[in-house]
Structure 1
Amino acid sequence: MNESTNFPTKFPAQHQGIQPGIEKDMNPLPIYQTQGYGIGSGRLKDKVMLITGGDSGIGRAVSIAAAREGAKVSIVYFNEEEDALKTKSEIEAIGGECLLVKGDITKKDFCTTAITETINRFSSINILVSNAAVQFPQNKIEDISEEQLRRTFETNVFGAFFMIQEAITHMKKGDSIIITTSITAYNGHETLIDYSSTKGALTTLTRSLATNLVSKGIRVNAVAPGPVWTPLIPSSFDEKKVEKFGTDNPLGRAAQPIELAGAYIFLASQDASFINGATIHVNGGAMVVI
């Protein structure tokens, strides 16, 4: 078990070179659970959560937290086999149930398969967390290739659309959708131009879908993280940027994945039954331009 409340304020220089990044190769390892997050209070008892990118980073923390709250968890991941198996073992170690579904969410057929496998295993889907994403820094917009632009939008936006389209046919009143956006949707980012654009699209998707699904009683909300120590960081930024990652935040550091998990659990639970179309900003106090 990875347990600590002494969150690091800086990271050694490192770069993995290819996305998606691998959590087990990070230094230090991200903190995805702590002693302070105990057995849980059954807030998601008998619920089924499907989460994309649930194998590592924020997704791993949310997956384990949901299991602690009584949910059965279906984790959709791309190709991070070891990370996915590690998360599954952590969930099973606390008595939870976990299904792993490997594939590419940019393909609509796969999204249909992921939903079908989840229904076949758990008989329902109550909570959909759209969390998977990629990012590729570029200093100039001219350097963003058509291939990169398509991959970023197809993963971050199309993947969310496809999964939502398939999931809502099985969702009912009281169920919820949670989308991972980003502080970059509000403040932009100098070198994450296309990534920030996708997160802006997801923010608007959250608001629009909340209005569209309100008559069905399905709530749609989002979480907008600030800097978080996940595999996306060493796999996309160079060594110098990794060394400085998060140090310009008001709290002087990047968040650890465990610090995001509670926001997702809250939005998924009945504690948030009157919250719809909203975004929770978990960013260490950074000023957000709204």
Structure 2
Amino acid sequence: MNQTTQMIHEDALPGHESELEPKPEWQPRYPGSGRLQDKVAVVTGADSGIGRAVAALFAREGADIAIVYLLEDEDAQETRRIVESEGRRAIVIRADVGSREACDGIVEETLHTFGRIDILINNAGEQHPDKDIADISEEQLRRTFQTNIFSMFFLVQAARPHLKPGAAIVNCTSVTMYKGSKELLDYSSTKGAITAFTRSLSENLVADGIRVNAVAPGPIWTPLNPCGGASKEKLEHFGESTPMGRPGQPNEVAPSFLFLACEDASYMSGQVLHPNGGVIVNG
């Protein structure tokens, strides 16, 4: 078992969606309207949670999907089945997005299969709760930044030569970037980096007709929290601190990604949407 795999399995990450109870709600809530017709989207972390919901909704709107995932083969194949049930094509790519070489391979395989990339959804992430900053090992710190932010640099660098005017990049940041999280110091720090990356990359690419935006979900019921080391007590009250008093579902977040990826958001770049249950973050 290599060092990366050891780190991942320390907290049972990334976790099987098929084993969660209750099951996360990924199903699109309305008929498609062709907003992504014949587009090609790369979606990282697409085997479960928000990534699966995004893949399903994008497929319903007419896109072919490259499903990028880390370890959960069964969940990835289920996402593939979902995409194909919408009448679209899908490929599954097992890869560690924290590796530059792997990100190069993701882009190469997508281009080989579909011939183009129109949308890049940087959604993959990991977290490891720690109550004391002294408990965060150097290995964990490096791994969290590698997965959550280095991956975005690597994938954009690999995809950039193939992104044409009209392309869209949407990154997944978090409410923790805005309000902080005392037990997720390294995770929330990466989310701050992602927001800065989004705004800066937008400035870098907007003149070339490529829009870059982000989504900052609040507490969403996905494998990330129950499999990422959250305590039983925290899970029992997960999402109750939001004004809506409940966690969100992946299919309540996916429409924000769709809006930013399609032409409905043609005059938006460098922005962040906040599906977070009513938390006011002023950012």
Q: Normalising TM by the smaller chain, what interval?
A: over 0.9
User: CA shift at 1:107, angstroms?
Assistant: 1.0
The answer to whether structure 1 residue 245 and structure 2 residue 245 are counterparts is: no
Which stretches of structure 1, 4 residues or longer, exceed 6 Å deviation after superposition? none
SS at match of 1:76: strand
Within the candidate set 257, 276, 281, 1:283 is matched to 276
Q: Structure 1 stretches of 5 or more lacking a match? A: 1-15
Residue in structure 2 matching 1:23, options 3, 12, 17: 17
Q: Residue 114 of structure 1 aligns to which amino acid in structure 2?
A: I
The 3-state SS of whatever aligns with 2:220 is: coil
The correspondence of residues 43-82 of structure 1 with structure 2, limited to 5 A, is 43-82=35-74
Distance 1:266 1:289, change over 3 A: closer
Partner of 1:116, secondary structure, is helix
CA distance in 2, matches of 1:209, 1:287: 25
Please list the CA deviations of residues 141-169 of structure 1 after superposition, one character each: whole Å capped at 9, or x if unmatched.
11100011011000001111101111111
Q: After superposition, what is the alpha-carbon deviation per residue over 1:10-50, rounded to whole angstroms, capped at 9, x for unaligned?
A: xxxxxx9411111001010000015x322x00000010000
2:266 counterpart residue number? 273
Instruction: Give runs of aligned pairs for residues 18-167 of structure 1, distance below 5 A.
Output: 18-34=12-28, 36-38=29-31, 40-167=32-159
* Offset at residue 275 of structure 1 (A): 0.3
User: Are 1:229 and 2:226 an aligned pair?
Assistant: no
| More helix by percentage | 2
**Equivalent residues of 1:50, 1:129 under 8 A apart:** yes
CA contact (8 A) 1:187 1:289 kept: no
Consecutive unaligned residues in structure 2, runs of 5 or more:
1-9
Q: 1:90-130: CA deviations, max 9, x gaps?
A: 11112111110001111111100110000000000000000
Matched, 1:256 2:238: no
Matches of 1:112 and 1:31 in 2, distance apart? 32
What is the aligned partner in structure 1 of residue 204 from structure 2? Answer: 212
Q: Which amino acid aligns with 2:22?
A: P
* Conserved? CA contact 1:247–1:254, under 8 Å: yes
Distance 1:144 1:77 in 2: 25
> How far 1:287 moved relative to its partner?
2.1
Match for residue 181 of structure 2?
Answer: 189
- Name the CA distance, whole Å, in 2 between partners of 1:132 and 1:93: 23
**What is the deviation of 1:240?**
1.4
**Distance (Å, rounded) in 2 between the aligned partners of 1:41 and 1:76:** 25
Deviations 1:62-111 (A, max 9, x none): 00000000000001100110110001011111211111000111111110
Per the TM alignment, residue 289 of structure 1 is displaced from its structure 2 partner at its CA by 4.8
Map of 1:12 onto structure 2: none
**SS of equivalent residue, structure 1 residue 49:** strand
- CA distance in structure 1 between the partners assigned to 2:225 and 2:136 by the alignment: 19
Letter in 2 for 1:219: R
One of 167, 181, 205 as aligned partner of 1:175: 167
**In 1, Cα distance between equivalents of 2:108 and 2:24:** 31
Q: SS in structure 2 opposite 1:221?
A: strand
Mapped contact 1:64–1:91 kept (Cα < 8 A)? yes
Counterpart CA distance in 1 for 2:277 and 2:95 is 33
**Is the partner of 2:162 in helix, strand or coil?**
coil
Q: TM-score, normalised by structure 1?
A: 0.92
- With a CA cutoff of 8 Å and minimum separation of 6, indicate the structure with the bigger relative contact order: 1
Offset, 1:189: 0.3
Q: SS of the residue aligned with 1:168?
A: helix
Identity of aligned residues (%): 50
Q: Which whole-Å CA distance do the structure 2 matches of 1:93 and 1:224 have between them?
A: 29
Q: CA RMSD in A?
A: 1.0
TM-score normalized with structure 2 length: 0.95
User: How many residues end up aligned between the 2 structures?
Assistant: 273
